[in-house]
Amino acid sequence: MPMIDASALKEHYDQEGFVLIESLFETSEIQKLQQACDALIEESRSYRESDERFDLEPDHTETTPRVQRIKVPHQQHQAFADLVRAPKLLEILRILIGEDVRFRNSKLNIKAAKGGTAVDWHQDWAFYPHTNPDLLAVGIMLDDIDQENAPLMIFPQSHQGKTMDHHHREVFCGSVDLLGEKLDPSSATKITGPAGSVSFHHVKALHGSAPNTSDRSRRLLLYEYAAADAWPLIDFEVYGNYGEFEEKMVLGKSTLSPRFEDADARMPLPRPPDPGSIYRIQEFRKTGFESPIAS
């Protein structure tokens, strides 16, 4: 594990809304996760449509599987389950969030070589508002990620600003209109590093990523964590039932007293016709499906 200066790390995170730790995981640790990813992609071969396990690219076939996202990987493979409580992550989470921390959910975003899909600019907060914004997403790089293979991009200090509009024609579309917000994408920081590097971004940090036009894949495993006193304002079921909510504590103690602070939320409702994944939700701003449904 690289040497960590806890106060410098926390200061950078509070100031910029993200931190990157290069090579937090060793090659052998990352290989286990890559193998788990490969095993799940093998299983995706028999799938024809996206479902609760996989989001598939339109050109996914049995012979050439192209998975956009492995959903909830911590429930699909032991290697990803073990990672939820990896001591290296918990040490950083304690510095950034505090003594009492709960795991929320996981996803593995895969941008295949030559064509992996973009993720439009958004704040995670717009998808899952809580009673306070002491939440973050951990991004574990399963590939070397550089300027070429669609790195995660984050607007520094955006977490200190307002919650942006993620609606289009009164329907939640999970993305921000950068032009409307007068933001220049070239001022976003590209989060690059060798496989095993790990970023931590604040739930209000504005971020996104481009399509992958390179000839190398870009696999980014994302784990979300919250302060124990940050209670969800919507979609409690993501945590499971109350017993599972309790079991998701990874550090310290839970509490029945939510802390209300900076919760300038707008509910991610009504949802577009196909709210099955961020990719489908974000299509709404681009294609503006007719007849949105409320859910």
Ligand X SMILES: O=C(O)CCC(=O)C(=O)O
Binding site for ligand X (CB under 6 A): 107, 109, 119, 124, 152, 207, 209, 220, 222, 278
Nearest approach, Cβ of residue 154 and ligand X (Å)? 9
Nearest approach, Cβ of residue 270 and ligand X (Å)? 20
State the pairing for strand pair 167-168/171-172: antiparallel
Contact call for residues 257 and 132 (beta carbons, < 8 A): no
Nearest approach, Cβ of residue 159 and ligand X (Å)? 14
Residue with smaller CB distance to ligand X, 211 or 288: 211
Residue with smaller CB distance to ligand X, 77 or 107: 107
* Buried residues in 91-122 as b, exposed as e (16+ CB within 10 A): ebbbbbbeebbbbbbbbbbbbbeeebbebbbb
Residue with smaller CB distance to ligand X, 77 or 201: 201
Residue with smaller CB distance to ligand X, 152 or 228: 152
Nearest approach, Cβ of residue 274 and ligand X (Å)? 16
- Omega within 30 of 0 (cis) for the link into 185: no
Nearest approach, Cβ of residue 254 and ligand X (Å)? 25
Note the residue count of the chain.
Answer: 295
Nearest approach, Cβ of residue 256 and ligand X (Å)? 29
| Residue with the shortest CB distance to ligand X | 209
- How many Å apart are CA 91 and CA 247, to the nearest integer? 19
Residue with smaller CB distance to ligand X, 167 or 207: 207
Residue with smaller CB distance to ligand X, 89 or 100: 89
Count of CB atoms situated within 10 Å of the CB of 267: 11
Residue with smaller CB distance to ligand X, 119 or 188: 119
- Provide the token pair at 288: 């503006």
Nearest approach, Cβ of residue 109 and ligand X (Å)? 3
